[in-house]
Amino acid sequence: MSPRRHIARASSVFLAAITLAVATVAPSQAAEPGPETDSQAGRQVVRLANGDLRITLPERADLTASASSSLAGAPYTTPSTDERNFVQAGYTCETGRTCLEVPYGGGWYVFKEDSYGTYAMYDWYGEGTWVDNQTGNWSTSIQDGSTQVQCLQSGYDDSVNWTPIDSFWIRSWGC
């Protein structure tokens, strides 16, 4: 990672520690969402006061799993992302990160990354959410082969069909 990204990550950790300390002393103030709230496709996206995005996911029992996702192995990327977590209810996409979520079994795999590069995606099927919560000119695009399908800069798309997508690319310039 670049020195700028290290500083940004260290700042995020410091802010998270302060947020935790404030939440312990005054939970009602720390938990208040910022001005952005959106709810589509059974998902709710709330921007927290610290800039992080909190995504609440629909229950998988309400969704129809495709035959390919139930037969395939768990989704993964090459190279590996900073984080890969299995969740059932929701997750937080921290400021400075790109977060992608793909349905699997009774929940979702969430991939989080903040480093420049192209990440090949394997066993990604069905519909999920893609969040670009990076700052400045950083952006993320999703690709089918060498064709860019979509590009996001500080936004999200909660209805991405991952089946034809085979990579995502984080870069330091806009769309």
The pLDDT tens digits for 117-139 are 999 999 999 999 899 999 999 99
* pLDDT (0 to 100) of residue 39: 54
Longest CA–CA separation in the chain, Å: 50
Domain encompassing residue 167: 3-171
* pLDDT (0 to 100) of residue 72: 74
How many distinct structural domains can be found in the chain? Answer: 1
* pLDDT (0 to 100) of residue 40: 54
Choose among 147, 142, 96: nearest CA to 119. 142
Query: Which residues, in sequence order, are bridge partners of residue 160?
Result: 128
Predicted model pTM: 0.72
* pLDDT (0 to 100) of residue 42: 74
Which residues in the chain come in under a pLDDT of 70? 1-41, 61-71
DSSP 62: G
CA atoms 142, 47, 57, 86: torsion sign? positive
**Calpha distance 156→78 (Å, rounded):** 22
What type of residue sits at position 62?
D
DSSP 69: H
